[in-house]
Amino acid sequence: MSFALYIVGYVILIVGLALGAYYMHVPAHWVGVGVLVLIGIGVASGVAKTRQKDPS
């Protein structure tokens, strides 16, 4: 799988969770913190899953 596909999936997940938190009246600064944490997790896991193995 490609890195771009992982990022698109995580963006959809983050938008859905942020909207859900907004509709539950979670304070905006906590929604922002959650979004930043999820972006970091998404990039780290995307890089780990799509990383090419180094040739021996």
Per-residue pLDDT band for 48 (boundaries 50, 70, 90) equals confident
Cα(18)–Cα(32) distance, integer angstroms: 8
Q: How many CB atoms lie within 10 A of CB 35?
A: 15
Identify the pLDDT of residue 1: 67
Higher local confidence (pLDDT), 8 or 50 = 8
Query: How many domains does the structure of the chain reveal?
Result: 1
Identify the pLDDT of residue 52: 76
Identify the pLDDT of residue 49: 82
55 located within any domain: no
Does pLDDT of 5 surpass 90?
no
Digit-coded pLDDT (tens) for 29-39: 999 999 999 99
54 located within any domain: no
22 located within any domain: yes
